[in-house]
Chain A
Amino acid sequence: MEDLHPTQKVDRSAPAIDVRQLHKSYGDHEVLKGIDFSVEKGQVVCVIGPSGSGKSTLLRCVNRLEEPSSGQILVEGIDITDPDTELDKVRSRVGMVFQQFNLFPHMTVLRNLTIAQQRVKKRGRAEAEKIARENLAKVGLADKEGAYPGHLSGGQQQRVAIARALSMDPDMMLFDEPTSALDPELVGDVLDVMRKLAESGMTMMVVTHEMGFAREVGDKLVFMDGGVIVEEGSPVEVLTNPQHRRTQSFLSKVL
């Protein structure tokens, strides 16, 4: 296995994601105020909360698209806040799906799925295309490999984005409000793909507003507000019997 860090080694028995006392500030504004959070291997953890609660920032810190101000983030036992960590290699093992899809508009769907495989994973073109086609089939878009992203619906684009992330054979997937930019009738297809992925045993961290998905698919539900984790537990428990007043008030508005 390639080296992700000169001294630290991947520990497959460690939690997939282990966040310790994470703080993040923009200037004087503190967005994350000491987060302790973990995702076990194979677990699906959903993070909910009002906008501005810091849930997307937390998720983006996990592959360091945001630079943490202080604290530790361990991904499979490797501290990604350590400057010696080979960040690009860690990122290639952590799939990410964005609210705005972020497909590369100047490339075909197939090329979107193969470019990072070839550059980062050093796979040959034929192998990369074979893996890409398998993943396109998984998300039900095998017939769209020659299309450009601009010609696909939002739901199709998001499924392509999921297939793109899966083509890197990630150990875990991060979802940043994957259905928030979609028309209501397109949400179901994307959630179906995510549900199948969860059933296949994928480790997932999902920032979402889809309470139904969180209840049915999630192993753990985390409620964030004001930069702290207010409450966490089994989804059914948190959703039906919230202990904290802030959780109760948030759920009464969205359910």
Chain B
Amino acid sequence: MTRRQRQRAIRMVLYAIFLALVVGLLFLVDWESVTRNFFMTEAFTGTWQDMVLTAAKNTILYTIAAFVGGFVLAMILVLMKLAPVAPFRWVATGYIELFRGLPALVVILFMGFGVPIAFGGWRPPGGIIGSGLTALMLVAGAYMAETLRAGIEAVPKGQSEAARSLGMNGVWTMSSIVMPQALRIVVPPLTNELVILLKDTSLLFVLGFAANQKELTSMARDFMVSGPSAGTATSLTFAALLYLAITLPLTQLVSWMERKQKRSR
């Protein structure tokens, strides 16, 4: 066999394997059961108000709250890491390593149940939701601080040298020369953090919310046992589709921004 014939043969075999797998799946899967359990039409029409207007809205609100809080925290951590006094740097580094090393779920349980036990029933403002959002914020802040630090380090050293050589002090140099450029660099990775945070709000379901506070995952879980889709997993499919409706445009936006940045460099 020539080299070309060999390559063609390999390609044909790969196509054949793929086709066999698809056909096998079509025959092996009980499609009637799948449709009944995952795609019950009445369930979509019967629950969309709760799922979209309450649960999806809450998911988005919780994400934004935790993101904004996490960003402010990350800024403080980064400034601490740049501080001329070493103990500030130690605290920031310790914090970042601690919260990047813990599962978000453990932090949520700590804030939701551990903190009230330890401090005589005290919890962050906003009740059980406040506790959960604080936990998400603490974790997101640690990740975003690392992202911001990388962004600041990506600004060429000549930029701050030029600013200092013009007599600008350290604060002006950071705030009007380095930070604006660093923020531009970190917009794509921060948008990725936003997507991760949005998915992590699903972990909040362990805290148990009141009906009007539920986010997508806890609402979907409710509709598995009650309402028009009870006994099926259709509500989970619905939640999954709603998550994708938010995350896919965001991840597409990130790749578009990254392509644009690469071109402008």
Residues on A with beta carbons closer than 8 Å to the beta carbon of B181: 105-106
Closest to A64 in B: B164
Are A98 and B184 neighbours in the complex by a CB distance under 8 Å? Answer: no
B167 lies within 8 A of chain A by Cβ: yes
Provide the bound-state CA to CA distance between A165 and B163, in Å: 10
Q: A119-B172, A150-B264 are in contact. Are A168 and B166 (CB under 8 A)?
A: yes
Q: A116-B168, A120-B168 are in contact. Are A65 and B161 (CB under 8 A)?
A: yes
How many Å from the CB of B264 to the closest CB on chain A? 7
How many Å from the CB of A71 to the closest CB on chain B? 21
Are A89 and B162 neighbours in the complex by a CB distance under 8 Å? Answer: no
Closest to B159 in A: A102
Are A88 and B165 neighbours in the complex by a CB distance under 8 Å? Answer: no
Question: Which listed residue (A98, A104, A120, A161) contacts B167, Cβ 8 A?
Answer: A120
Closest to A120 in B: B167
A contact residues, range: 20 to 34
Q: A116-B163, A168-B166, A168-B167 are in contact. Are A98 and B180 (CB under 8 A)?
A: no
Provide the bound-state CA to CA distance between A91 and B165, in Å: 6
B186 lies within 8 A of chain A by Cβ: no
Residues on A with beta carbons closer than 8 Å to the beta carbon of B264: 150
Provide the bound-state CA to CA distance between A93 and B180, in Å: 26
Q: A105-B181, A106-B181, A106-B184 are in contact. Are A115 and B165 (CB under 8 A)?
A: no
Q: A104-B177, A106-B181, A150-B264 are in contact. Are A98 and B168 (CB under 8 A)?
A: no
Residues on A with beta carbons closer than 8 Å to the beta carbon of B172: 119
Residues on B with beta carbons closer than 8 Å to the beta carbon of A103: 162
Are A98 and B161 neighbours in the complex by a CB distance under 8 Å? Answer: yes
A128 lies within 8 A of chain B by Cβ: no
Provide the bound-state CA to CA distance between A104 and B168, in Å: 13
Chain B positions 136 through 163: 1 when the CB is less than 8 Å from some CB of chain A, otherwise 0: 0000000000000000000010110111
B49 lies within 8 A of chain A by Cβ: no
How many Å from the CB of B160 to the closest CB on chain A? 9
Are B159 and A63 neighbours in the complex by a CB distance under 8 Å? Answer: no
Chain A residues 86-131 with CB under 8 Å of chain B are: 88-89, 91-96, 98, 100, 102-106, 115-116, 119-120
Provide the bound-state CA to CA distance between A100 and B161, in Å: 11
Question: Which listed residue (B162, B168, B184) contacts A88, Cβ 8 A?
Answer: B168
Closest to B160 in A: A102
Question: Which listed residue (B158, B167, B168, B169) contacts A102, Cβ 8 A?
Answer: B158
Chain A residues 131-169 with CB under 8 Å of chain B are: 150, 161, 164-165, 168
Interface centre among A63, A88, A103 (most CB of B within 10 A): A88
Closest to A104 in B: B177
Chain B residues 160-210 with CB under 8 Å of chain A are: 161-169, 172, 176-177, 180-181, 184
Question: Which listed residue (A100, A116, A150) contacts B166, Cβ 8 A?
Answer: A116
Q: A115-B176, A150-B264 are in contact. Are A104 and B166 (CB under 8 A)?
A: no
Closest to A98 in B: B158
Provide the bound-state CA to CA distance between A63 and B177, in Å: 19
Are B167 and A92 neighbours in the complex by a CB distance under 8 Å? Answer: yes
Provide the bound-state CA to CA distance between A98 and B161, in Å: 9
Q: A104-B177, A150-B264 are in contact. Are A164 and B158 (CB under 8 A)?
A: no
Residues on B with beta carbons closer than 8 Å to the beta carbon of A161: 162
Provide the bound-state CA to CA distance between A91 and B161, in Å: 11
Question: Which residues of chain B have a CB within 8 Å of any CB of chain A?
Answer: 156, 158-159, 161-169, 172, 176-177, 180-181, 184, 264
| In the complex, the 9 A-B pairs of residues with the closest C-beta atoms, listed nearest first | A92-B167, A116-B166, A102-B162, A96-B165, A102-B158, A120-B167, A91-B167, A88-B167, A106-B180
Q: List 21 A-B contacts (CB under 8 A).
A: A63-B165, A88-B164, A91-B164, A91-B165, A91-B166, A92-B167, A94-B165, A96-B162, A98-B158, A102-B159, A102-B161, A102-B162, A104-B177, A105-B181, A115-B168, A115-B176, A116-B167, A116-B168, A120-B167, A120-B168, A168-B166
Question: Which residues of chain A have a CB within 8 Å of any CB of chain B?
Answer: 63, 65, 88-89, 91-96, 98, 100, 102-106, 115-116, 119-120, 150, 161, 164-165, 168
Known: A103-B162, A115-B168. 5 other contacts (CB 8 A): A88-B169, A100-B156, A102-B158, A102-B159, A168-B167
